[in-house]
Structure 1
Amino acid sequence: MLLLKLTLVPAFLYLLALVARYYGPQRAGWMAGLPVVAGPILWLLLQEHGADFATHAAMQAIAAIAASELFNLVYARSASRHDWPRTLTAALGAWLLAACLLQLLKPSLPLALAVAGLAVVINSYCLPQPGAGSIPGAAKEVLWLRMLAAALLTLLASLVASQMGARWSGMVAVFPLLAVVMAVATQRTQGARAVQALLRGMLLGRLGFAGFCLALALLLPRMEENPAFLLASLSAIGLQLLSRRLLPSSARTTPAAIPPPD
């Protein structure tokens, strides 16, 4: 499982880099909503701590969408005024603050859904729009650094999650790992407007992730783990495809061929 996580996330990140180059940052952000990071972490928690622990972690992962959306909001608004180190520091501080506040909530699936839904609605209005005009194409760069960073962050998140209680484990499972790596790279190479498009795409991609965690929270107490994860994964894919209709038409069309990243 550890080897799977250390290869799956960097491979997915490479795929997202291709999507960003061919389709733009908003489409890549939308695809990043798939539970490629949280899914293996929740599976690991299930194997180590049992179904009840994993159920509560999945429930908390839904509420943790609010913390991730606060990260995205702070990053998107700071990127137009500050360089990436200060922007990232502010966004991570906002995520940590939100994560701590969410620990004060009573564990409840309806409450988790309400908190996540409210955060998504707020960001649908508050996330800055990239505005009219073309966004610079993704610059060629050595992707192995991004992939290495993703692998190290995945390993760290997995180790931290396995040592914590169900509530913090669920929170860490939704740590904005892909957002950190992708937003920093996008800001460095394409600027603030591309970051805003990327993070608005991630907002639209929350539906599949929320569906995955909701399915796990409902199914793990009622069936075997393998069918539960299979149905949750199918739910995520189906909802993600459904949310594709919310993407702007420009993010759903195929641009001219662009050489793949190095």
Structure 2
Amino acid sequence: MNGILAFKLIVTPLLVLICMLITRRWGAFVGGVAAGLPVVSGPLSFFLTLEQGTAFSAHASYNTLLGIDANGLAAVAYPWLAVLGIPWYLAIALSLGIYFLGGWIVQFFPYWPLAAFALSLLSPLLVLVCLPRQDSPEATQPQHTHWWLIAAQMGFGSLLVYVVTEVAHWLGAGWSGVLMFFPVMICAMVPFIHATQGAGAVVRIYRGLMAGWFGCIAFAAIVMAFVERTPLWLCYVLATAAALGASAVVTLVQKRMKAA
């Protein structure tokens, strides 16, 4: 329990800070790739396996794949709301409402792992197609550093992880899996980017997030397939390697397509 509590209260805000610093140094797209990786859902999946068992974890990972589809709806909504001039606090509230609606809908899907995997792969591709087009140049170094706002976002990210995981233990594998892909990093980073760099940066960070989402899909699929069949350390090593490899490949493809 001490290790889990430390992760919820210490590691998560540090990850948020690292992703924000990456965004400031290399821009919204690269920051989005980092934030889209399973930096939150991966450790949470591991701790859930320790607490609830491998069968529960496998079923939760299946629902995580469905949660990616629910999150995809919100990932389309927020950038369009930002481009239309909706302020960040309304945009995040509306997009979260769409996420929870989508999470409720996917609970009615029949249990079909291959279909869930295929739909999860399709989700970030559709998001990329549906994102608004923003051709303004990217500003990698904002004029002002709002450290108080960064600290607030770090605390918010930690609070979100703590609340979601505490509630998820009582909701069963269905909602636990969907909430495993709760947009913690989006809630912690995107409003800050929206407020300080504008709608164009929001679109760019979501493009990066989609590359990271392929890593999350690979991670969840490996856990779903192997957590009951292999030692835990091997399962999560394979899942982590698959997540990093998938995100790297998709990032390179996006970069080459942009250059072309």
TM-score normalised by L of structure 2: 0.91
Q: Which amino acid in 2 is paired with 1:107?
A: Y
C-alpha contact 2:67 2:178 (8 A) present in aligned 1: yes
User: Which consecutive unaligned segments of at least 5 residues does structure 2 have?
Assistant: none
Q: Which amino acid in 1 is paired with 2:104?
A: C
**How far does residue 20 in structure 1 lie from its aligned partner after superposition?**
0.8
Residues 1:90 and 2:94 aligned together: yes
State the match for 2:32 in structure 1. 29
Residues 1:163 and 2:170 aligned together: yes
In 2, the alpha carbon distance for the partners of 1:46 and 1:131 equals 44
**How far does residue 115 in structure 1 lie from its aligned partner after superposition?**
1.9
In 2, the alpha carbon distance for the partners of 1:5 and 1:40 equals 10
Residues 1:47 and 2:54 aligned together: no
State the match for 1:214 in structure 2. 221
In 2, the alpha carbon distance for the partners of 1:214 and 1:136 equals 34
**How far does residue 136 in structure 1 lie from its aligned partner after superposition?**
6.8
Q: Which amino acid in 2 is paired with 1:238?
A: G
Closer, same or farther: CA 251–24 of 1 in aligned 2, 3 Å: farther
State the match for 1:179 in structure 2. 186
Q: Which has the higher helix share?
A: 2
- Corresponding residue to 2:236 among 211, 226, 229: 229
Q: What's the Cα RMSD here? A: 1.9
State the match for 2:145 in structure 1. 140
In 2, the alpha carbon distance for the partners of 1:19 and 1:53 equals 34
Moved more, 77-86 or 1-10: 1-10
User: Which consecutive unaligned segments of at least 5 residues does structure 1 have?
Assistant: 253-262
TM-score normalised by L of structure 1: 0.90
Residues 1:69 and 2:72 aligned together: yes
Moved more, 196-205 or 135-144: 135-144
**Alignment length, in residue pairs?**
252
Q: What percent of counterpart residues are identical?
A: 27
In 1, the alpha carbon distance for the partners of 2:63 and 2:28 equals 28
Residues 1:17 and 2:20 aligned together: yes
Closer, same or farther: CA 62–181 of 1 in aligned 2, 3 Å: same
